[in-house]
């Protein structure tokens, strides 16, 4: 049987624990880097989508200057306007935080000032799930 001094065994155990801790910290760091990469990809996708929506709005308003918010949404997202009442769109598009509603209002306020009556205020609309028959 090999006898090692207790101090020597303690130091070796400390080194093993330290190596394990370093390995765990490296794994945590890698996971953080991956999470940052995922968040960055999501942010890039959101920016690209908002840009595409804004470009669609500009093109739509050039071609249809007298149109309404609901008409624009029906063209941009027909699946959010498939209701029995042709003036109804998905209630979420009237929410205060709706990017679509905010873009519309910015456009009609800044670019087409004479159409300020086209501004769409946030409102609470009860969901209506009465879809058109296919």
pLDDT in tens, the chain (134 residues): 555 555 665 666 666 677 788 888 889 889 999 999 999 999 999 999 999 999 999 999 989 988 899 999 999 998 887 665 667 788 899 999 999 999 999 998 877 665 556 777 787 777 776 666 55
Report the alpha-carbon distance of residue 59 to residue 103 in Å, rounded.
Answer: 13
- What pLDDT score was predicted for residue 8? 63
Query: Where are the domains positioned within the chain?
Result: 6-118
Q: Is residue 33 classed as helix, strand or coil in its secondary structure? A: helix
Take residue 37 and report the two structure tokens written for it: 């990469």
Q: Give CA angle at 97 (52, 75), nearest 5°.
A: 40
Report the alpha-carbon distance of residue 74 to residue 104 in Å, rounded.
Answer: 14
- The DSSP 8-state label assigned to residue 133 in this structure reads P
């Amino acid at each position: 049987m090999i006898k090692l001094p207790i101090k020597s065994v303690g130091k070796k155990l400390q080194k093993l624990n330290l190596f394990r801790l370093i390995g765990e910290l490296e794994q945590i760091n890698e996971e953080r880097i991956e999470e940052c990469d995922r968040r960055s990809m999501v942010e890039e996708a959101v920016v690209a989508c908002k840009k595409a929506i804004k470009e669609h709005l500009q093109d739509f308003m050039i071609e249809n200057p007298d149109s309404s918010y609901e008409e624009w949404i029906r063209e941009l997202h027909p699946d959010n306007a498939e209701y029995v009442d042709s003036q109804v769109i998905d209630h979420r598009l009237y929410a205060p935080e709706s990017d679509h509603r905010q873009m519309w209002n910015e456009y009609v306020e800044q670019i087409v000032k004479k159409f300020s009556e086209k501004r769409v205020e946030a409102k609470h609309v009860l969901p209506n799930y009465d879809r058109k028959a296919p």
